Amino acid sequence: MAVYDLGGGTFDLSILEMQDGVFQVLATKGDTRLGGDDLDRALCDWFLREHGMDGGDLTAGSRVKFLTEAERVKRMLSEREEETFRVPFYDGSRSVEGLVKRADLDAAARPLIERTLVCCRQALADARLGFGDLDAVVLVGGSTRLLAVREAVAALFGKAPDVGQHPDEAVALGATIQAGVLSGALRKMVLLDVTPLSLGIETFGGLMNVLIPRNTTIPCKAGEMFTNAAAGQRSMSIRVLQGEREMARDNWELGFFEAPFDSAPKGQARVGVQFRIDENGILEVLVRDVTTGADTVVEIRSAAVDVDDSRVEQMVSESVDYAFEDMAERVFTEARLKAEELLPAVEAALEFAATVLPAQEVARIRATADEVRAAVAGGLPNPLKTAVQRLDQATEILAALLVERAMDQALERRIGSTGLAAESGD
C-alpha cells in the first residue's frame, strides 16, 4: 500500500506493508518544500503573468492578498470548472479580476505535481516494488482534493486512488490509533519503531538543523546539502545531535567528527549530509564532498532509537516550556548571520553606489544599514529581522546595478581577449 500525503507545506510518499496487524514502513520519500502553499503561489504567479503584472512590483501586503485569493480559487476549482479571481483595491486604489478555468490551475500545478510523482517512483524503487505490486494508493492531505492530483496519481499507479479517508483528519486518526497501541487499548495492531526525538546536526551560529524529525518511522533516511561558511575551509565539523530544542547547545550530542572536502571560496563548496537509520536503530551518518565524490561515514549504534522514556519526556517538555525563548533566539541568530553577511557587502558597494545612485538614495541605504547595526546591538529578534529585510529591499537596485556592471566587465574582458587573439593571428 502507498500513502500519498500532500499537505499545506510538505509532501510524503510512504510504502507500507500490513500483515497480521503489523504495519511496516518499506520506504519513504518526500519533499519538505512542496505543498498546498506552493500550489497557491503557482496559481498566483500564473494569474499575474496573464494580466501583465510583475509580482516583484507588489508590496508584501498586496502579495498576501493575491495569495489568499489564489488559495480560495484553488479550493473552488476542486468543485467547479471555472472561478473568478478577484482582488479589489490590492494597493489601495487598483483592483483586478479575471476568469480562471480548472485547466489553468492544472497547467500551473503540473510541474509541482510532477515533483510528487518523482518521489513516488523513487520510493517504489527503494522498496524494490513495481506499481502492480501495490494493493491500494491512499490519498491524505488537503491538497489531494485537486482533481489534477487525483488524475495524476491514478495515471502513475494504474489504479484509482483510495479517497475514503478524510484528507484533513487522517493524521489525527493515525495519532489516535498510535495512542491506542501505546496505551494497550489496541492489542491487535503493531506499529514498528519510530525515532523518539529529532536528529540533526549543528550548523553555523550554533543552530540545530533537523534532518530526521521526531516520530519518523524506521527504517528511514534523509539528507540535505550544506556549503562552506568561510573561504579556504577544508573540512566541516559534523556534530550529530538529538533533541527538540532550536539551539544546538540544548540538545544531546551523539557524535562528533571532521569531514574533509576540497577548498573553495565561501559558499562554493557543496557537501551532502545524509542520516540513515536501519531497522535495528543504528544511525549511519554519511558526508559526501559533491565535487570529488569522497565519502566520510560514521556509525552510531542504538542511541538514535534506544532512549529512556523519561529522558524523552523531559526533552519534549523542555522544548514546550522554552518554545518562545528558543524560537526568538533562533530568529535573532539567523537574522544576525544575515546581517553579518550583508553589511560588509553593502559597505563595499557604497563607493560604487555614489556614482550611479542619487545622493538621497545612498543616504537611505546608509541609514538603513545603521538601523541594522543598532538592531544587532539591541539583541531583539523581530526588530533585527525587520531591519535586515528593509536593508535587503533598499539595496535591490544597487545589487542589480552591480550585477550589470560585472556582466559588462566580463564582456569587455572577453572582447579584449578575442581582439588580442585576432591580432596575434595576423
Query: Would you state the pLDDT for residue 51?
Result: 92
CATH number, domain 1-192, options 3.30.360.10, 3.40.50.2000, 3.30.420.40, 3.30.565.10: 3.30.420.40
Query: Would you state the pLDDT for residue 20?
Result: 65
Mean pLDDT score of the chain: 86
pLDDT digits (tens, 9 = 90+) for 220-231: 899 999 988 888
pLDDT digits (tens, 9 = 90+) for 344-393: 988 888 877 778 788 888 888 899 999 999 999 999 999 999 999 999 88
Query: Would you state the pLDDT for residue 223?
Result: 92
Euclidean distance between CA atoms 212 and 275, whole angstroms = 7
* pLDDT at residue 262 greater than cutoff 80: yes
* pLDDT at residue 426 greater than cutoff 50: no
Euclidean distance between CA atoms 344 and 364, whole angstroms = 16
Pair 305, 196: CB distance under 8 Å: yes
* pLDDT at residue 37 greater than cutoff 60: yes
**H or E stretch including 10?**
none
User: pLDDT-derived band of residue 322, with 50, 70 and 90 as boundaries?
Assistant: very high
User: pLDDT-derived band of residue 424, with 50, 70 and 90 as boundaries?
Assistant: very low
Region of poorest pLDDT, from 124-133, 189-198, 238-247, 277-286: 189-198
Pair 242, 306: CB distance under 8 Å: no
Query: Would you state the pLDDT for residue 45?
Result: 95
What architecture does CATH give domain 324-408? Up-down Bundle (1.20)
Query: Would you state the pLDDT for residue 115?
Result: 93
Pair 193, 302: CB distance under 8 Å: no
* pLDDT at residue 181 greater than cutoff 70: no
Better-predicted residue by pLDDT, 71 or 320: 71
Equal fold, 199-321 vs 324-408: no
Region of poorest pLDDT, from 29-33, 93-97, 382-386: 29-33
Better-predicted residue by pLDDT, 405 or 83: 83
CATH code for 199-321? 2.60.34.10
Domain boundaries, the chain: 1-192, 199-321, 324-408
- What percent of the chain clears pLDDT 90, i.e. is strictly above it? 50
What is the model's pTM? 0.51
Which of 66-70, 214-218, 224-228 is predicted most confidently? 66-70
- Residue 355: what are its φ and ψ, rounded to 5°? -95, -15
Of 329, 385, 323, 398, the residue nearest 358 (C-alpha): 398
* pLDDT at residue 263 greater than cutoff 90: no
How much is the average pLDDT of 137-162?
Answer: 93
User: pLDDT-derived band of residue 420, with 50, 70 and 90 as boundaries?
Assistant: very low
Pair 372, 394: CB distance under 8 Å: no
* pLDDT at residue 256 greater than cutoff 80: yes
| C-alpha distance across the termini of the chain, in Å | 72
* pLDDT at residue 422 greater than cutoff 50: no
